[in-house]
Structure 1
Amino acid sequence: MKILRAEEEEALSEALRVLSEGGLVGFPTETFYGLGADPFNPAAIERLYEVKRRRRDKPVLLLLGDREEVGRLVEEIPPVAELLMEHFWPGPLTIVFRARTDIPPWLTAETGTVALRVSSHPLARDLPRLFRGPVTGTSANLSEEPPARTAEEVAHYFPEIDLILDGGPCPGEKPSTLVSVVSERVELLRPGAVPWEKIEKLLKSFS
């Protein structure tokens, strides 16, 4: 395992190299540290599930470089999703969409849905932008364990991963808020950093 300070000149290029070769990268986000892999590399995703000891029926969240990438991954973008993206991206809001039928089943865990977010953390946004495609953003923790707030905690959980980008401590208060727009209305799946009341207020103002 290699640990690089996020501000080091070679940090991003090394992370991109690791991702392109099917490796795993720990990196900071605006909530907790994430665990990045190339979502279209089945071997990388299999390794991700293995190191996290994660059930195969739980889909993996994807981080995007910008919202224009959403259309490549989803069947449709409901107007209510456009509203949420306009107001809460970049930021700690993860939106579950109906996935395109050609999205690999290991990404959707056979649910037919995909969870997407544009992070407000510069590094977590630069990674998928420079990788020219989505990067997994699942929390850096073993299943049922608290998410990592520091690079040291990531290293403790995952001594076997390839690279950790140390960006200092993450806020680590709440995870991203998780909502679904699959039914074309907004359903709260997990409370988090964006208060549900704030989302409800926005929806009411545009209804």
Structure 2
Amino acid sequence: MPSPFQLRLAAATLRKGGVLAWPTEAIYGIGCDPLNPHAVRRLLALKQRSLSKGLILTGASYEQLLPFIDPLPDALMQPVLQSWPGPHTWLLPAAPQTPFWVTGGSKLVAVRVTAHPLFHELCLAFGGALTSTSANRSGHSPAGNALEVRLRCPGTNAILHGQLGTLTRPTTIRNALTGEVIRP
């Protein structure tokens, strides 16, 4: 686990518009401040990813996601809230102020509350949710370690080193309105 100093330095890098990589539940992820359009543009360029795909937002708590979502009625929110923290990404209605570069122009936003200890601490140090996508070029396999991040995503400002979680594949994505599984 990175030291408190390393986490503060990583959070400062993110606040300055940097792109950072870190271990997640299954793979190394890469992300930035979702409210910084320059950082998001840089992230998408590193990944060679289309703006129209949107990005997952991950926080240390449900409260860190609230600025980006319009909560659903209790009956629909219960399965979402009961699955967190954990490796479950949900599509929820995007709040009107959620930037289009996060939603990809959709009325929905993909969100998750992480249970990964390092990622959780990074979100706390940053003070909010972060974009979270696989550390790779679009269409290529994701990085499983820090060296692979350097090779697959040159130009990343910093990498937090740590252990991956126990999952063997990226998190499932499910539509909270319909229950439909978007990514198994």
- Offset from partner CA, 1:51-83 (integer Å, 9 cap, x none): 000011101001112012333211232334432
Structure-1 residue corresponding to 2:29: 34
Matching of residue 82 in structure 1 with residue 77 in structure 2:
yes
Counterpart AA for 2:125 = L
Higher deviation after alignment, 109-118 or 42-51: 109-118
Structure-2 residue corresponding to 1:202: none
Matched residue count = 184
Structure showing greater radius of gyration is 1
TM-score by length of 1: 0.83
After TM superposition, list the pairs within 5 Å mapping 1:8-47 onto structure 2. Answer: 8-47=3-42
Query: Shift of the alpha carbon at 1:160?
Result: 1.1
Matching of residue 103 in structure 1 with residue 82 in structure 2:
no
Runs of 4+ in 1 over 3 A off after TM superposition: 168-172
Assess, with a 3 A threshold, how the Cα gap between structure 1 residues 10 and 69 changes in structure 2: closer, same or farther. Answer: closer
Matching of residue 117 in structure 1 with residue 112 in structure 2:
yes
- 1:100 alignment partner, SS class: coil
Over aligned residues, Cα RMSD in angstroms?
1.6
Matching of residue 167 in structure 1 with residue 166 in structure 2:
no
For 1:100 and 1:48, the matched residues in 2 are separated by 22
Assess, with a 3 A threshold, how the Cα gap between structure 1 residues 65 and 168 changes in structure 2: closer, same or farther. Answer: closer
Higher deviation after alignment, 107-116 or 7-16: 7-16
Matching of residue 140 in structure 1 with residue 135 in structure 2:
yes
Percent identical residues: 34
Query: Shift of the alpha carbon at 1:171?
Result: 4.1
For 1:130 and 1:9, the matched residues in 2 are separated by 9
Higher deviation after alignment, 125-134 or 71-80: 71-80
Query: Shift of the alpha carbon at 1:11?
Result: 1.6
- 1:10 alignment partner, SS class: helix
Assess, with a 3 A threshold, how the Cα gap between structure 1 residues 169 and 69 changes in structure 2: closer, same or farther. Answer: closer
Matching of residue 48 in structure 1 with residue 69 in structure 2:
no
